[in-house]
Structure 1
Amino acid sequence: MMGGIYGEGIIGHKGAFSREWVQQLHEDILILYEAALQRPGGAVGRGPKRHYVEIHPENIRGFVDLVTHPWVTTVCEAVLGPEYKIVEIGFDVPNPGAMNQPWHRDFPAPDDTIIGRRLNSLAFNLTTVDVFEDMGPFEIAPSTQWDLPVEFEHGMFPPKSFYPRYEERAQRKMPQMGDISARSALTIHRGTANHSDKSRPALVLGVDAPGGINHERHDLQVTRAFFEKLPESVKQHLTFRLVDTLEPIVQAHTIEGLMMGEA
């Protein structure tokens, strides 16, 4: 696990969840997506025909199943240490007509990584549909989490002159329902063009090591009633705001450079 994350920057586990469990998650995401599209600022654009929606843990069935899955907890402990914190949950939806995103990181590399050669965050991704070549699969350039952000716009977007290097390394990921991956969000990646007539929703779970600051970009809320029902092992790994009633999330992590897309 450490070798994979510190090496290529991504690892995966096939068949971690049943197809029935994923179908239930898919149903929940479709409802949340429709509601977010109707709410001002509810869905953040990540390129043409592509959105990201941050959600509340209790709005999906199976949240506890996800964050207590042995593979998920073992990866978190191995890479981030035993005091890791869950800081984000949401989903991406590349719809039909979505274009290639620019190659990018999800946020600028912290000093922990640039100077200390340490990765202090992980992003888990779980598709809710079987992914095929024409559906705009996720594409990643392995081992680029260590690239220094020289000439990177906003520390996240490498210049187009760097693209040939990424394209030489590029791996397209076509997971099936039930598969889950973990990656460093600093590894250079992009969503590709969706030429199909299907959307490709994918759940995102963000986790930090102690000292990580990604919680500042998110607003993970938990109601008191939901909190009381959570296992102690989950409570100790959540960074959250305790509320009586869930409030609409105002997305604080917009990525302006993704809005144009590429042909």
Structure 2
Amino acid sequence: MKAVEENKPVTATYDIAQIMGGLYGDGIIGLKGAFSREWARQLGEDINRLYEEALQRPGGALGRGPKRHYVEIHPESIRGFVELATHPWVTAVCEAVLGPDYKIVEIGFDVPGPGAMNQPWHRDFPANEDTIIGRRLNSLAFNLTTVDVTEDMGPFEIAPGTQWDLPFGFEHEMFPPKSNSPRYEARAQRKMPQMGDISARSALTIHRGTANHSDKSRPALVLGVDAPTANNAERHDLQITRAFYATLPESLKQHLTCRLVDELEPIVQGHTIEGLMMGEA
């Protein structure tokens, strides 16, 4: 990778047309081997620890279906947050799609455990006017697996191009009618990333977690990023201690929407997705 010249947009290092074409077309793109396997293994250790702690704390882990949880975390609770948030590809994708004033608003992880069922097809939140009327994407979700995903581990499944679907008949503007399912299944792509890979997607692209038939969990980190016109920060509580904030590079501080605290407080996650609780057969 070529070094990025000082004061030169990092997007110049990557093919902006490919980034824009992928996210405005399929709704998902990826970078193989963005991080080392050792980095991913370390992330996995941190997530496993945080998951065990969250399960012991009332409201610490939100159900996203049978045997499936989501946990929102503090950035400083994992090693490697700065490396993730400042990775040149992450920065390039955010600048290209969301503009230079993008903000990181969420960090957490999903854990589909053994026995997790197919989720219903869904969006992570309702589409707003930027997308429905303006046909613009104003938020992105980055995902990193902490394990090598195999077919039996309940891979993430996505229906390319459906970020532009108008929410006709969608329950809570997020869950499409069952009559749409054959179309999604015909388009569906199952993603089986390996440790060190990273992806970026529109959370509006119709997707689901599939059934985990293995005896292993499939943890995946989630980094949520908004354009200035989005309001997803309202669903989250990104906290950073003043001591940790002081260690961050200035180039990262300007891209954080967070609450500075002296001591970290347990996160009360407000983005419960009730429609995922039952799962599908």
What is the TM-score normalised by the length of structure 2?
0.93
Instruction: Tell me the C-alpha RMSD between the 2 structures.
Output: 0.3
Q: 1:125 aligned to 143, 146, 154, which one? A: 143
Q: What's 1:217 paired with? A: 235
Structure 1 residue 41: deviation in Å? 0.1
State whether structure 2 residue 259 is matched by structure 1 residue 250.
no
Q: What's 2:35 paired with? A: 17
Q: 2:131 aligned to 113, 131, 145, which one? A: 113
Distance of 1:10 and 1:61 partners within structure 2: 26
Q: 1:152 aligned to 160, 163, 170, which one? A: 170
Residue-by-residue CA offset, 1:124-166 (whole Å, 9 max, x unaligned): 0000000000000000000000000000000000011110000
State whether structure 2 residue 73 is matched by structure 1 residue 69.
no
Q: 1:184 aligned to 188, 192, 202, which one? A: 202
Q: What's 2:66 paired with? A: 48
Q: What's 1:139 paired with? A: 157
Structure 1 residue 211: deviation in Å? 1.5
Amino acid at match of 1:246: L
Q: What's 2:219 paired with? A: 201
Amino acid at match of 1:156: M
State whether structure 2 residue 76 is matched by structure 1 residue 58.
yes
Listed as ranges, the gaps of 5+ residues in structure 1 are none
Residue-by-residue CA offset, 1:172-223 (whole Å, 9 max, x unaligned): 0000000000000000000000000000000000000012100000000000
Q: What's 1:87 paired with? A: 105
Distance of 1:185 and 1:207 partners within structure 2: 10
Q: 1:96 aligned to 114, 117, 127, which one? A: 114
Q: What's 1:5 paired with? A: 23
Distance of 1:147 and 1:28 partners within structure 2: 37
Residue-by-residue CA offset, 1:60-101 (whole Å, 9 max, x unaligned): 000000001000000000000000000000000000000000
Distance of 1:225 and 1:211 partners within structure 2: 30
Q: How many residues align?
A: 263
Amino acid at match of 2:215: D
Q: 1:239 aligned to 218, 242, 257, which one? A: 257
Structure 1 residue 13: deviation in Å? 0.2
Amino acid at match of 2:234: E
State whether structure 2 residue 244 is matched by structure 1 residue 226.
yes
Residue-by-residue CA offset, 1:8-32 (whole Å, 9 max, x unaligned): 0000000000000000000000000
Amino acid at match of 2:44: H
Distance of 1:162 and 1:246 partners within structure 2: 43
What is the TM-score normalised by the length of structure 1?
1.00
Amino acid at match of 1:41: G
Q: Which SS does the other structure have where 2:71 is aligned?
A: strand
Q: What's 1:78 paired with? A: 96
Amino acid at match of 1:38: Q
Amino acid at match of 1:261: G
Q: Which SS does the other structure have where 1:87 is aligned?
A: strand
Distance of 1:33 and 1:203 partners within structure 2: 12
Distance of 1:212 and 1:150 partners within structure 2: 22
Distance of 1:150 and 1:162 partners within structure 2: 10
Amino acid at match of 2:126: P
Q: Percent identity?
A: 85
Give 4+ residue runs of structure 1 displaced > 2 Å after superposition. Answer: none
Q: What's 2:52 paired with? A: 34
Q: 1:168 aligned to 186, 198, 201, which one? A: 186
